[in-house]
Amino acid sequence: MIHNVYVFDENGTPLLTLKVGSIEADSVLLTGFLSAMQSFSKKVAQGEVEKINIKDYNLHIRKVEAIYIALAADKNDGDAERRLGEVCKIVAQNMNNFADILVQMKIKDAVTRKIGFKDRAKNWAETGL
């Protein structure tokens, strides 16, 4: 099961956090940590971190142009990588509109709750796109 989705820039600034499961995490702290891990990995190993194993769940991370997308998923979720790939593909195809979408989502947070966005996202996290 997907628990959380984090979208953040190269500096670790969270652009979007979607909580659909039971994992509680400070998105500013987590995305800052992930950004620092990516910077460290680039300098030391000339590559980026793609997955972090944490006790009961994994963080799957990919970069799309200048942003990162991370999913927090149960360790036994064998479909998390595929779902992350689908999210990245959608973001990449719509990158020109992505900044506008993020601004609209932040401004209209109350509206998105009313139209069931979180319910649809939770369903996606549990069953796939």
Closest to 96 in 3D by CA, of 61, 129, 65, 63: 65
The residue whose two tokens read 């779902």 is 83
pLDDT in tens, 29-76: 999 999 999 999 999 998 999 999 998 899 999 998 888 999 999 999
Give me the percent of the chain exceeding a pLDDT of 70. 74
In this prediction, residues 20-27 reach a mean pLDDT of 85
Does the domain made of 2-127 have the CATH classification 3.30.450.70? yes
Cβ atoms of 105 and 4 within 8 Å: the answer is: no
12: left (phi over 0), alpha (psi -120 to 50) or beta: left
pLDDT of residue 23: 84
